[in-house]
Amino acid sequence: MKIARNETYFTYETEFGKVTIVSDGNAIISAKMGDAANPGVKCKASALTDKAVKQLEEFFAGERREFDLPLEPQGTDFQRAVWKALLEILYGETRSYKQIAHAIGNPGACRAVGMANNRNPIWIMIPCHRVIGSDGSLTGYGGGLDMKHRLLELERKNH
């Protein structure tokens, strides 16, 4: 990943654990679970990272269904198409990898969709947790299946 000159990150403690949010000064480029130091990047909260964590906390409290943040995930054109399709999945709903593949006009790309989903750099704000197996089963999630279940239950409860 190319580091922008004014890129900063900060790790926040939330109800769902630690989350590290990275901003390039204009947009959120990463939000990951855990305390993740970013070599070559200044550890400093910004108005944008503070706004992002505030919206995450509202989401966790069931008070927010959509994020109002500039997002600029870095990835291939294919990955960006998948991530854009994920943003179309409404709060409390799910889609299968196959449905996402169809949505981006590449019906044979279910596995590639899964890999793009796995590489999503902006946790929850680009809702990869809403993608499930065609049979309705919970499938891989970077934060673990327990976390995926917890997020889907939160949305189901507040939908």
What pLDDT, in 10s, does the model give residues 51-90?
A: 999 999 999 999 999 999 999 999 999 999 999 999 999 9
- Provide the token pair at 13: 């403690």
The residue annotated as part of the active site, out of 71, 128, 131, 132, is: 128
- Provide the token pair at 49: 């990272």
- Is the CB of residue 36 less than 8 Å from the CB of residue 19? no
Which is more confident, 158 or 28?
28
Token pair 């889907």 is found at: 152
Residues 6+ apart with CB under 8 A from 136: none
pLDDT for 117 equals: 93
Comparing C-alpha atoms, which of 69, 36, 75 is closest to residue 53? 69
Q: What is the mean pLDDT of the chain?
A: 91
Instruction: Kindly tell me if the per-residue pLDDT of 120 is higher than 50.
Output: yes
The architecture (CATH level 2) of 77-158 comes to: Orthogonal Bundle (1.10)
* Rounded Cα distance, 153 and 137, in Å: 14
Torsion of CA 100, 103, 106, 112, to 10 degrees: -20
* Rounded Cα distance, 156 and 142, in Å: 20
128 as an active site residue: the answer is yes
Q: From the centroid of its chain, how far is CA 84?
A: 11
pLDDT for 1 equals: 47
What are 22's strand-pairing partners?
9, 30
Q: pTM higher than 0.75, yes or no?
A: yes
Instruction: Kindly tell me if the per-residue pLDDT of 34 is higher than 90.
Output: no
pLDDT for 69 equals: 97
Domain boundaries, the chain: 8-60, 77-158
* Rounded Cα distance, 151 and 59, in Å: 10
- Provide the token pair at 36: 């993740």
